[in-house]
Every structure is written in C-alpha cells, then in structure tokens.
Amino acid sequence: MALAAELNPRFLADVYQAASECNKCSLCQATCPAYVTNPVEWETARGRVSLIRDAIEGRLELRDIADGPLSTCLTCDNCVAACAPRVPTGHIVSRARQELHEQEGHPWKQSFALRNILPHPGALRFVHGLARFTQVTGLYALARRGGLLQLFGGLGRLADYAGPLERRTAYQRARSLPAVTPPVRGRVGFLVCCYENLAAPQSTEAAMRVLLANGYDVTVPVIGCSGLPARTLGDRDAMVDMAVRNSDALRGLDVDAYVGDVASCVGHFHEYGAIAGDDRLVGDAARDVALRTALTSDFLDRNGIRAELGPLRWNVVVDEPCSLPVDGPRRGAMRRLLSQVPRLRVLDLHEAAMCCGGAGTYFARMPERSEAILERKFDNIRASGAEVVVTENISCLVQLRAGAARHAPGVRVMHVMELLDESMTVAQRRRAVIPE
Ligand code: SF4
Ligand code: SF4
C-alpha cells in the first residue's frame, strides 16, 4: 500500500517526497511555538507532517485534520532550524490547506476579501477611507461595544488589532518625500505592503527616507497585495491572480532593483517566478521580480550605509521575522546594520527567532493561541532588559506593539528602518548645531 501510494500519491504529489523525509527524531518540538504552548504530538512538525502524509496515502481525509493540525500551524518554519533533513513543514501545511480548500471550497468571507479587496489598490483605498471614517466618527467604537465587529470574524479582529489608522497611507506619504541625497547610487522600485500601507505607514515612509538618504532614488509603483495571505490561507487561484496582476503592474518599470520592507511579502515576491513565471504575458516580469527583489535591511547591508548615523543611547533587541530563510545571510542583516549606530547596545534575546504569534492573519484567526505565544515572547523581552524591540515585518510589528501595550508598556516597538531613520535625524540635528 505504502509503495503504491509512494508511486501514486492521491494528491499533493509536489510535497509528498519532502513529507516522507521526516525521520521522527523530535528535535523540532522545542522550537515550535504552537507545541510549546500546547504540548501534544499533533502540534509538532513531526505530528502535522505525519498526518498530512496519512491523508496523501489515503488513511484519513484532510478534512479530519482541518481543525488543529492544519489550522494551528503558524507556517513559521521555526521547526526547520532544528530539522536535519530540512522538512519544509510550513510549506507542506500551506499546500495541504490549498488542497483542502480545492476539495471543500473556500469560506465566502475569505474568498471575498482575497478576490475582491486585496488585489485591487482602489478597493484597499476605499477600505482605508471607510475604516478611518468609522474610527473618527466614533461609529467603530459603537460597533465594537455593540459586538457588531464579531460579525466580520477575522477581519473585525484584524481591524481591532491594527488600532487607530493614520490619516495618510504610505502611498500618500510617498508624494512628499525628500529628494535623493547625491551622488545617486541607483533607482529602486519600492514594493509597498498593503497591510503596512494602512496599519503602519510611518514605517514604510521611514524605509523610503533611509533609502533616499543613502543615495537610492525611490519610485513607488501602485500594486495590490503580494498574494501571501492567499497562499497561507490556501487559496491558490487568488494567489496566482495577485502575482499576475502585480507582475503586470511592474512590467517595464525602469529600476535597478525592487525593495520591500516587510520580510514575509519580500519572501513571497521571491516566489513569483515559481508562481507566475510560465505566464505567457507576464512570465518575464514575474521572474524578474523574483530575482531582483530585496528586503531593506539586506539591501543596505549588502550595499553599505552611506548616510551619517547619530548616537542613540538605547538598549535594543532584535526579533527576527520567521519568514527570513533559516541560516540564510539575511538573518543577521538587521543586527549588522544596528551595530553601526553609535552608542546603541544590541542585547541578546532568548528565543529571538521563535514566532511572536503574529504570523500573517494568525493573530486574528487564533486569538487565544496567538496571545499565549505572545506572552512567552514578552517574558523573554522583559528578561532581556531592552527598552526597544526592532523587527522588519508588519504582522510582527502589529503583534509586538499590541503585546507591548499589554505586557510591557515601557517598551517601544520599531521597524528597523524607523530606528535607522531616527539615527540619521539625530546626525542631521547634530550637524546643524555643531557645524563641521
Ligand atoms: S511551521 Fe511553525 S507552527 Fe508549524 S510546525 Fe513548524 S514551528 Fe510549529
Ligand atoms: S526535526 Fe525534522 S526530521 Fe525530526 S521529527 Fe521534526 S520534522 Fe521530523
């Protein structure tokens, strides 16, 4: 039976071999944020992969493991760091969710958001305007008190988590940026994350300012969501549609590189070649985006910071987004940049690479579980003695800010580009006061 299935898996043939490589050593247990907050076997990478393999081989159905093994995984790949055969559990779980939704259909609210809002910049602008209108007029608070937000399920919790929205989105802020600091080193296309555009536009603006101060001219193409939420929620068609739309929007843009400041989005742009590289119309553009997109910290780390950095007498810890490839050079880029800021003390954070529980829409889908993971993260942050936590991913940023408000009100949470921007501002002020 096993041999027949091996030759002819019922579905998920593309991940079947990888799922078969788990040797059941259990080294992944201690690294899994879901397992450490709920220590049962099916929470481990070993347990999830084994159940998915059972489904592929016909011993159970994917719907039997939808609640639990498939839903509680953060697809963070923290387990891969401990896994000798490098079983890509997050990817296997994402593919199993896609297969499940293809078999059973998609929840309509999720489909509506993934197909009618996220791919369309105009719809995203409308949602921002509407959400801000309800916040400013008090309608939002009213709906919250009356329990109306619950009707919107995960979307309602997402809005709640994002907190008060800024008046200007990142796209609007991009229209009033300073000029590039000469000599110009190149021209980059900035890939704005649709979520950060609404929930933390000041972070995107800081990233653009840092690039400009370092000699990179910034152009900001208008795109929709990268498609990452569709991938993690299992909607393959929506994911492909967003990759095709964005590749089309970026076709022919005259830039030396693309840069984004959200680790998970950038990681997903790197997959565009695999997702839409065969498309007759936009295949070339999709492969180009995959090859030439870099994360801000990695881009500056490789090319070097040229702008002057001023002193910041802060104790900082770095919370590495899980979406950065395990053991890859990009993992250390934030620390290397921060080590160049005068007077800044970069402290060690226990379990720095463990997911904070944000994980895309996880905090909205699994609020209790997410909170348990977040509490553990803040136990470690408080123990470190840091007054600032730095990260480079929007869901981490939103999650950690919400966590700081509840568990460590004195701790400030910043995007790494906000910290560099602040350091550059200090240097400018010092130059103004103490002329060279
Ligand atoms: S991807 Fe993350 S949540 Fe899922 S099994 Fe691995 S460590 Fe656990
Ligand atoms: S560490 Fe890797 S090989 Fe070992 S049990 Fe976990 S998933 Fe399987």
- CATH, residue 426: 3.40.50.1860
CATH code for the domain in which residue 10 is found:
1.10.1060.10
Is the minimum distance from the CB of 28 to ligand 2 under 6 angstroms? yes
The protein residue with its alpha carbon nearest to ligand 1, atom 5, reads 45
Number of domains into which the chain is organized? 4
Are 160 and 405 a contacting pair, CB within 8 Å? no
Q: Residue 317 forms beta bridges with which residues?
A: 389
Q: Which of 251, 277, 301 is the last residue of a domain?
A: 301
Domain enclosing residue 249, as ranges: 170-301
Is the minimum distance from the CB of 51 to ligand 2 under 6 angstroms? no
* Token couple for 419: 């910290």
Q: Which of 131, 162, 193 is the last residue of a domain?
A: 162
Q: Which residue has the tokens 């400018």?
A: 428
User: Does residue 330 sit in the same domain as residue 356?
Assistant: yes
The protein residue with its alpha carbon nearest to ligand 2, atom 6, reads 28
Pocket test for ligand 2, best of 87, 92, 326 (most atoms within 8 A of CB): 87
Is the minimum distance from the CB of 30 to ligand 2 under 6 angstroms? no
User: Does residue 191 sit in the same domain as residue 293?
Assistant: yes
Rounded CA-CA distance 205/242 in Å is: 24
Is the minimum distance from the CB of 366 to ligand 1 under 6 angstroms? no
User: Does residue 131 sit in the same domain as residue 184?
Assistant: no
d(CA 32, ligand 2 centre) in Å? 11
User: Does residue 179 sit in the same domain as residue 290?
Assistant: yes
Nearest to 270 by CA among 279, 280, 281, 257: 257
User: Does residue 32 sit in the same domain as residue 92?
Assistant: yes
User: Does residue 31 sit in the same domain as residue 97?
Assistant: yes
Per-residue pLDDT tens digits of the chain, which is 436 residues long: 444 445 578 899 999 999 999 999 989 898 899 998 899 999 999 999 999 999 999 999 999 999 989 999 999 888 998 899 999 999 999 999 989 988 988 778 888 888 988 998 888 888 888 877 777 777 766 666 666 655 555 556 666 666 677 788 899 999 999 999 999 999 999 999 998 998 899 999 999 999 999 999 999 999 999 999 898 888 889 999 999 999 999 998 999 999 999 999 999 999 999 999 998 999 999 999 999 999 999 999 999 999 999 999 999 999 988 877 666 667 789 999 999 999 999 999 998 888 898 887 788 788 888 999 999 999 999 999 999 999 999 989 999 999 999 999 999 999 999 999 999 999 999 888 766 6
User: Does residue 152 sit in the same domain as residue 181?
Assistant: no
Ligand nearest to the CA of 25: 2
Number of Cβ within 10 Å of residue 35's Cβ equals 23
User: Does residue 266 sit in the same domain as residue 350?
Assistant: no
Q: Which of 245, 272, 301 is the last residue of a domain?
A: 301
Burial class (CB in 10 A: 0-12, 13-18, 19+), 367: middle
User: Does residue 330 sit in the same domain as residue 417?
Assistant: yes
User: Does residue 225 sit in the same domain as residue 190?
Assistant: yes
d(CA 345, ligand 2 centre) in Å? 36
Is the minimum distance from the CB of 82 to ligand 2 under 6 angstroms? yes
The model's pTM: 0.87
User: Does residue 84 sit in the same domain as residue 116?
Assistant: no
Distance set, CA 65 to CA 83, 193, 316 (Å): 23, 32, 41
d(CA 127, ligand 1 centre) in Å? 32
User: Does residue 241 sit in the same domain as residue 357?
Assistant: no
